[in-house]
Amino acid sequence: MKRKTNYSLNKQDKEIVEVFTELGMPKNLAKTLIYISNVDECRSKDIEKGVNLLQPQVSVAIQELRKKGWVKKYEIKKKRKGRPVHRYSLNRSLSNIVDSFQKEKTEEVKTIQKNLTDLENIINSV
């Protein structure tokens, strides 16, 4: 069940972050993604507190998650003047995101294999 806010990563969440990190995802990105996946919606401040990151780190992570199409941003209308407040939520299910990440990594592996084969062929032709 998703929570409203005030969430902290549990042991299983931290294991997921570690696996994403071992697969090449930046740790701050993985922490932010897993935090957002556990709440209905949240503000940057919620993420900062929940995963112990600084505001610029969260901002960069959210920007990357939005660029990938995994997170959507909502603007909250305020009665007073000042900076706008934004809320974030997943744009896709976490399993769909994992599928997308898997495809990305599979393509990287294919590219690496091709480059290694090309390198081997060049060296053998010399």
Residue 60, SS3 per DSSP: helix
- Please, what is the Cα angle at 43 between 65 and 36, to 5 degrees? 45
Burial 5-39 (b: 16+ CB within 10 A, else e): eebebeeebeebbeebeeeebeebbbbbbbbbbbb
Model confidence at 3, pLDDT cuts 50, 70, 90, reads: low
Euclidean distance between CA atoms 124 and 98, whole angstroms: 39
Question: How many residues are listed for the chain in this entry?
Answer: 126
64 torsion bin: left (phi>0), alpha (psi -120 to 50), beta (else): alpha
89 or 75, greater pLDDT: 89
Percent of the chain whose pLDDT exceeds 70: 96
| pLDDT confidence of residue 73 | 94
pLDDT of residue 109: 95
pLDDT higher than threshold 80 for residue 40? yes
Model confidence band, residue 72 (pLDDT cutoffs 50, 70, 90): very high
This prediction has a pTM of: 0.85
When pLDDT is cut at 50, 70 and 90, the band that residue 53 belongs to is very high
pLDDT for 1 equals 46
Please give the angle made by the CA atoms of 88, 48 and 59, to the nearest 5 degrees.
60
pLDDT band at 2 (very low <50, low <70, confident <90, very high): low
